[in-house]
Copies of this chain bind each other. A is one copy, B any other.
Amino acid sequence: MGKLREPLKDMANCGLPAALEVMGERWSFMILRAAFNGLIHFEEFSSELGIARNILSNRLTKLVDHGVLERTPCAADRRKVEYRLTEKGASLLPAMLALRQWGAKYGGIVDPELILVDARDGKPIAPITIRAGDDREIGWHDLAWMHRDELGKKKPDCC
């Protein structure tokens, strides 16, 4: 039967510490955001983010080490370097947008000038939600933990 509480002890089983290991430091998410916005060069990140060069250098190499960004020397101008999102890095978009939507909703951003839209129809994207396997939106109290051996067994309603 599924447990109501997840055992916090065994971190080995949880993706959150792993994610925070990579993205949990200061500036990491802002760098990611900048990368999604198309910035690729060191100086671009530096000037747009206003972050100290040593810290930026440190974060960029860490993100590269963890496979979020890919660092390639620029062929055209050999002084330059390109930092591009990998597939792994691009997969952080839902997390980043969810965080961002939350910050916008509760952080006092009432009438944003720019709105993120679907390019195909120019309409705003939906708030990011949690969905069951069949696409129903579900909330916190609809969730349960279940051992991998007993998937599919509906939990009793009682507890």
Contacts and interface: CB of A to CB of B under 8 A. Distances in A.
Interface of A: 2-10, 12-24, 26, 29-30, 33-34, 36-39, 48-49, 67, 88, 90-109, 111-136, 138-148, 150-155
A92 B23 CA distance: 17
Contacts of A29: 16, 20, 24
Nearest to A145: B114
A5 B39 CA distance: 9
A15 B153 contact: no
Contact of A19 (B10, B48, B107, B124): B107
Nearest to A87: B106
A117 B140 contact: no
Contacts of A93: 130, 139-140
A124 B133 contact: yes
27 contacts: A5-B38, A6-B37, A7-B114, A9-B48, A12-B109, A14-B33, A15-B99, A15-B101, A16-B29, A16-B96, A18-B109, A19-B107, A22-B107, A93-B130, A115-B147, A115-B148, A117-B144, A117-B145, A117-B151, A119-B142, A119-B143, A120-B132, A121-B154, A122-B153, A125-B130, A125-B131, A128-B128
